[in-house]
Amino acid sequence: MMNCELLATCSALGYLEGDTYHREPDCLESVKDLIRYLRHEDETRDVRQQLGAAQTLQSDLLPILTQHHQDKPLFDAVIRLMVNLTQPALLCFGSVPKEPSLRHHFLQVLAYLQAYKEAFASEKAFGVLSETLYELLQLGWEERQEEDNLLIERILLLVRNILHVPADLDQEKRIDDDASVHDRLLWVIHLSGLDDLLLFLASSSAEQQWSLHVLEIISLMFRDQNPEQLAGVGQGRLAQEQSRDVAELAALRQREMAEKRARALQRGNRHSRFGGSYIVQGLKSIGERDLIFHKGLHNLRNYSSDLGKQRQRVPKRRQAAQELSVQRRSALNVRLFLRDFCLEFLENCYNRLMGLVKDNLLREKAQQHDETYYMWALAFFMAFNRAASLRPGLVSETLSVRTFHFIEQNLTNYYEMMLTDRKEAASWACRMHLALKAYQELLATVNELDMSPDKAVRESSRIIKNNIFYVMEYRELFLALFRKFDERCQTRSLLRDLVETTHLFLKMLERFCRNRGNLVVQNKQKKRKKKKKPIASDNVPSSLGQREAMWPSLVEQLQCCTQDPELSLEFMIPFDAASEVPVEEQRAEVMVRIQDCLLAGQAPQALTLLRSAREVWPERNVFGFPDILLQEEMQLLKQIFCAPLPRQQGPEERGAEEEEEEEEEEELQVVLVSEKEFNFLDYLKRFANSTVLRAYVLLLRDYRQNSAHTNHCIVKMLHRLAHDLRMEALLFQLSLFYLFNHLLSDPAAGAYKELVTFAKYVLGKFFALAAVNQKAFVELLFWKNTSVVREMTEGYGSLDGGFSSRKPPAWSLEEEAQLQELYLARKVVEGQDVIDTIMAHLKTPRTRNQVIHHLVWLGLADSVRDFQRKGSNIVLWTEDQELELRRLFEEFQDSDDVLGHIMKNVTAKRSRARIVDKLLALGLVAERKQLYKKRRKKLVPSGLPNGAESLKDFCQEDLEEENLTEEESKENEEKEEVSEAKQISQGSSVLLTENLGQSLHQKGFSTPLLWLQNCLFQVADDRQEDGCSQAVPLVPLTEENEEAMENEQFQQLLCKLGLRPPASEQETFWRIPAKLSPIQLRRAAASLSQPEEEEKLQPGLDPEVPGGQGLEEEHQREDQAQTLRALLSARKKKAGLVSPAEEGTAGGKEQLKVAPKKRQLLDSGEEQEEDVGRSKATELEAPGIQKKKRFQIEDEDESEESEA
């Protein structure tokens, strides 16, 4: 049912009276309305379908086009509407819809387009288009307006759209040499003179902008044509064609006679009412009895158990790809016209047009996939030129090594996209087929040039072949295409072209090698380069005593440097600007570099690097004071030289999977390009592959439909593998023998003499082998590789005989007895690996796999999987094991390493991955990152302490921690929580907080800090009295406090204290989390006190660290560290957390400087679970490498620098 608005609009166009069309006054507006309606149609293209059902184009638009073309505005509007109506259905729907309803609409639109194409097969319509296009092309570039260029483009697009409509083969039912709708359209184009205009556009230098449109139209004109047949039109039938037709007729005649004889034999002498019943002995029926056959004996040979059964339906995703294009022979007059067009196009247009199109493609001026038209034109016209006259000058533009490279690149790209984009694999396979056809034609043309009488032409062919055969990618291309052939998305025609192209390439390569004697080709190898593991400190080449002995020689080098005080620093850059690691965090790496220079005996370079690092990182005097003397520099270098610094570690940030799994050596692929002497047989062995053979056998199944040349290419390749490589056993496969059986019993087998001869040759080889090797019949069931072929022919076990040096020694009876005794004695021992224990006690050295396989062979074990390491063979979890896992998770869920503690205490040892999967399955954790180990961060000393012993002890702690095993590190962490590390972590947290507090005091935030301190004390008292706690919001009642809560630095202080920001839009105020204990709250409040108040609160401070000591030793090296320790002790004592014993231990660490913590781990959007007092046990970092956390925010560099 047509829409009323559309019906009214179509009625306002006009009416046809006889042969005259009378347009309405609103005709132009109605055409514009139809364009507007098409612009707003829905996904079913309802407007397009309604206009097609009403035949608006046939009854209105075409008469307007032919009779009112003088009205330029109306003509332009009608052309616009026609271009929209005739655009391809694939362009309207995007792709062929899979949904039945949308697919119905797609087929309906396609049917309307086919009706449009038939309507356009009119000389009047194309006469008007040709005349208009001719008038527009007569205008010079200075006279042509923008509207004229748009009209030219729309006319070309209209012609393109009409030619693009596919033919309806079921509707037309045309035979060869009969005029189809497409043929009539081509003939109309010829009569209207549009073909001459296309040739003009292709050859004119002033019309370069239409090159892609012209090439697309030409490709659509010749899409059903065969270039070789088209080249021979009008020259009489060639002898080769006649012989081919005679052979086809003879094969058909032989099959027909064989069928007549078979039907005659099926007729019995008796009447057909009773054919008899027979018992077939030896052939069982469904039960245990012999089969009863109820037909004549002449039908017994055709009996099969599958008779009467319904054939299994093949799923759509496994069905073979359908052929999209069908070649047919057009009417003679159309073929003559097309042949003349090709000749003129080759002589005047081909080289220039193909050059322009390729330039547009390389400059990316074309649309997506326009290179397919270029490759089609290359394949078609070069094949036409080769079949017609073989004039290389006519196709010189595309006959070059650069063209080979361009085609190979696109072919490889289509191949890779076909493997990755599985949804559009069929489309990519079609494009790959076009590229393969172009590559095949390039090879065929080069092969024909070898037979040219012109010596220069033959030399050009030799140069091209030399370049092609030299490059490895051209040789490996066919192997890659065969190995990934998939009949679900690649058609049989693609496979046929691939087989023929491979045959041609091998023939050319074999002849080229034979004529040259030896051929040197390019060889590329991917070498796996293992990345070196980080160097551990125990692998440092010299011990401490050796370093002490080596130091005097370094001192002599350093003293020589005093003669050159202006030491150049431009060649020693202490940081890597391109590294992902920030420059501020590369200080620790410089220490290791300085030590490496000293170990290598390069003292001047070490001194230069030290001075460069001092310029880059002057803060905290890590690399010495700015006015340091040379003797002090030498002493500093000696400390670095003697310190056991931790060596380079792995990447600072690892992904989630890298932290869960064990660290493995990274492998880098390096392509090594070299040259080698080419051996044709070695190259041919690459095709001795089961995947390649399957593709050839698949194509051989269609030997009746294949051309004689295709069958020859198949047989030639199989003969190369069987005879030249002496691998006849490679073809011993049941599916191939089944095909040979059909071939030998074919009545028309005489037409396939080459196939029959080869089949008999292979079968003879098989039965000769079967007489020696009875297992050959079983081998028929499997596709084989070269190693299996060798074992079949030379005897099983011969493959290992060729490598006697690698063959393991045989097991003697004594060794087997010893193995059995060891296994029975050790298999019940828990806590050790059975195989490792057995290997340690065997007399003859054996590998682990050899021991395991021999245990299975002796029957002592059921499977190899019984001896997998790390308990990975345990798959099922019992109920008790699940309860144990829940208990361990609840016990250790607040620890730093939950997963490590579980693995250490679980009874049934399992891998990390299995425990993580089970925790996720039980719902104990929501995601894997909750199980990541919470690593502790060390405090970085602000400078190098005095004395080599303290630096050595300090670095030794880092070194020992890095070298600890996983279990040892966990034990040490537990000890540190009880002892000294807990105090240092608490002190560092308090120290960071008071640094921020002092900075805010200086900025005038004393009142808000006092308010915050009172709030913390009040909440601590309330929680201690009530015994329960809940989150308490911080509500600023004064304007000054409200401004402070919005200050960024004040918010950083709140985060350091453990307060939680608003978690969602429903929350407005910061909150004191419920998890903070009263002690933690009082400690946080105490850290907010001003220094003046602290001095009043601690009159009895330990005399070893007096508060005024910093003023007396202002210019000494350890002033800052002692001041910070004093401040830390004061805060601890005020909070009531420092015992006298702990105060005593503070004096023993005067050589260490406590650096403020740079970053802090935060959980975004959640309450902090870490206790502020024991947040992240810190590491004391000397000239070592500071470990970087996974999620770190809130950089406090500015606050630290202000404190320093």
d(CA 1188, CA 940): 13
Give the torsion sign (CA, 1172, 1175, 1181, 1184): negative
Instruction: Tell me what pLDDT residue 1071 has.
Output: 84
pLDDT at 1193: 33
The DSSP annotation for 285-350 comes to: -SSSSEEEE-S-GGGGGG--TTTTPPPPPPPGGGSPPPP--------HHHHHHHHHHHHHHHHHTH
Per 3-state DSSP, the chain is made up of helix, strand and coil in percentages (nearest 5) of 60, 5, 35
When mean pLDDT is compared across 152-161, 228-237, 735-744, 1130-1139, the lowest value belongs to 1130-1139
d(CA 394, CA 354): 11
pLDDT computed for residue 161 by the predictor? 94
Token pair of 699 as six digits = 């194509």
Pick the residue with more confidence: 368 or 553? 368
**Confidence band of 372 (pLDDT split at 50, 70, 90):** very high
Query: H helices within 745-785, ranges in order?
Result: 753-770, 776-779
Pairing of strands 14-17, 20-23: antiparallel
Reference 24, options 68, 87, 81; nearest CA is: 68
DSSP 8-class letter at 947: S
1032-1033 and 1071-1072 as β-strands: parallel, antiparallel, unpaired? antiparallel
pLDDT at 1001: 76
Q: Are 188 and 290 in contact (CB under 8 A)?
A: no
Q: Are 35 and 82 in contact (CB under 8 A)?
A: no
Q: What is the mean pLDDT of residues 835-840?
A: 82
- Mean pLDDT for 906-914 is 78
Name the most confidently modeled range: 26-30, 654-658, 914-918, 1042-1046: 26-30
The most confident of 326-335, 463-472, 907-916, by mean pLDDT: 463-472
Q: Calculate mean pLDDT across residues 502-519.
A: 88
Residue linked to tokens 């054939």: 311
Tokens 């051989």 locate to 700
**Dist. CA 417–CA 1084, nearest whole Å:** 61
What would the mean pLDDT of 1124-1150 be, rounded to a whole number?
Answer: 46
Can you say whether the dihedral through the CA atoms of 271, 274, 279, 285 is positive or negative? positive
- pLDDT for res 593: 80
- The crossing angle, in degrees rounded to 10, of helices 181-192 and 332-348 is 50
**Average pLDDT value over all residues in the chain:** 76
Higher per-residue pLDDT: 1000 or 1167: 1000
Residue 931 corresponds to which amino acid?
Answer: L
- Looking at mean pLDDT, say which of 42-46, 585-589, 694-698, 885-889 comes out highest: 694-698
How confident is the model at residue 910, as a pLDDT? Answer: 76
Q: CA–CA separation, 911 vs 35, rounded Å?
A: 68
The length of the chain is 1204
The pLDDT score that the predictor gives to residue 561 is 66
CB-CB contact of 1174 with 1182 (8 Å): no
Residue 212's pLDDT band, with cuts at 50, 70 and 90, is very high
Place of tokens 């296994």: 823
The per-residue pLDDT for 583 is: 61
* pLDDT higher than 90, residue 543: no
Residue 1202, pLDDT > 60, answer no
pLDDT at residue 842 is higher than 90: no
Residue 655, pLDDT score: 42
What percent of the chain has a predicted confidence (pLDDT) above 70? 74
- Place 375 in a pLDDT band, splitting at 50, 70 and 90: very high
Selected residue with higher pLDDT from 880 and 1064: 880
**Per-residue pLDDT for 547 more than 60?**
yes
Smallest CA-to-CA distance from 105 within 117, 113, 97 is with: 97
What is the full DSSP assignment across 341-397? HHHHHHHHTHHHHHHHHHHHHHTT-SPTTTHHHHHHHHHHHHHHHHHHT--GGGGTT
Q: Residue 46: helix, strand or coil by DSSP?
A: helix
Phi, psi of 903 (to 5 degrees): -65, -30
Confidence of residue 269 (pLDDT cuts 50, 70, 90): low
Phi/psi of residue 1128, nearest 5 degrees = -65, -45
Residues 474-489, mean pLDDT to the nearest whole number: 91
* Helix, strand or coil, per DSSP, at residue 523: strand
pTM of the model: 0.60
Mean pLDDT, residues 377-397 taken together: 90
Q: Which helix (H) or strand (E) holds 819?
A: helix 813-826
Kind of pairing between the strands at 278-284 and 290-293: antiparallel
Task: Please determine, for residue 85, whether its predicted confidence score (pLDDT) is greater than 90.
Answer: yes
pLDDT-based confidence at residue 798 (cuts at 50, 70, 90) = low
Please tell me the least confidently modeled range out of 569-573, 744-748, 1140-1144: 1140-1144
Amino acid letter for position 1092: E
Q: Is the pLDDT of residue 965 over 60?
A: no
Q: What is the pLDDT of residue 165?
A: 92
Cα–Cα dist 920/683, whole Å: 52
Q: What is the pLDDT of residue 1195?
A: 39
| Res 259 pLDDT > 90 | no
**Bigger pLDDT: 928 vs 302:** 928
- Among 803, 903, 817, smallest CA distance to 858 is for 817
Tokens of 980: 């000294």
**CA nearest neighbour of 501 among 478, 472, 471:** 478
Higher pLDDT, 114 or 586: 114
Stretch 429-446: mean pLDDT: 94
Check: CB of residue 684 under 8 Å from CB of residue 724: yes
Average pLDDT over every residue of 239-268: 74
Residue 850: per-residue pLDDT? 85
Per-residue pLDDT, averaged over 501-515, amounts to 92
* CB distance 472 to 522 below 8 Å: yes
> Rounded to an integer, what distance in angstroms lies between the CA atom of residue 631 and that of residue 622?
17
What's residue 646's pLDDT? Answer: 64
Residue 510: the pLDDT is: 92
Q: Count CB atoms within 10 A of the CB of residue 863.
A: 10
pLDDT for 936: 53
pLDDT band for position 1104 (cuts 50, 70, 90): very low
Q: How confident is the model at residue 535 (pLDDT cuts 50, 70, 90)?
A: very low
Name 853's Cβ contacts closer than 8 Å, sequence gap at least 6.
864
- Where residue 507 falls among pLDDT bands split at 50, 70, 90? very high
Mean pLDDT value of segment 1031-1044? 81
Judge whether residue 352 has pLDDT over 50. yes
How confident is residue 1023, by pLDDT bands cut at 50, 70 and 90?
confident
What is the DSSP annotation of 84-110?
HHTS-HHHHHSS---SHHHHHHHHHHH
* pLDDT of 654: 41
Indicate the DSSP class of residue 1176.
S
Residue 962: count other Cβ atoms within 10 Å of its Cβ.
Answer: 17
| 3-state SS, residue 16 | strand
Residue predicted with more confidence, 76 or 1042: 76
What pLDDT is recorded for position 536? Answer: 41
- 701 token code pair: 């199944």
Judged against a pLDDT cut of 60, whether residue 112 lies above it is answered with yes
Q: How far apart are the first and last CA of the chain?
A: 85
Confidence of residue 982 (pLDDT cuts 50, 70, 90): very low
Mean pLDDT, rounded, for 981-999: 55
CB distance 991 to 1128 below 8 Å: yes
pLDDT at 765 over 60: yes
In degrees rounded to 5, what are phi and psi of residue 327?
Answer: -85, 140
